[in-house]
Amino acid sequence: MADILTILGENVRTERVRQGLSQEELADKAGFHRTYIGMIERAERNITLRNLERLARALDVNITDVITPKL
């Protein structure tokens, strides 16, 4: 099974691309720096629950949507 940070990163990238957003656009919507989004997508950051909530809101998805492994 994949690491939770890898799952989060893959799901965030997939949803961001599906919505046609750049990393910078998603960062602006969530109130983060562009490099922070890249680090999340590459599983280089262990984000807080508050930041996870901000990210999910910016993507307009449930938190479970970004942390649940896709089959």
pLDDT at 1 over 90: no
Would residue 50 count as lying in a domain?
Answer: yes
Percent of the chain with pLDDT over 70: 99
Per-residue pLDDT tens over the stretch 14-37: 999 999 999 999 999 999 999 999
Would residue 61 count as lying in a domain?
Answer: yes
Average pLDDT, the chain: 96
Say how many C-beta atoms besides its own lie within 10 A of residue 2's C-beta: 12
Total domains present in the chain: 1
d(CA 51, CA 1): 24
pLDDT at 59 over 80: yes
Question: The CATH number of the domain where 29 resides is what?
Answer: 1.10.260.40
pLDDT at 46 over 70: yes
Would residue 25 count as lying in a domain?
Answer: yes
pLDDT score at 2: 76
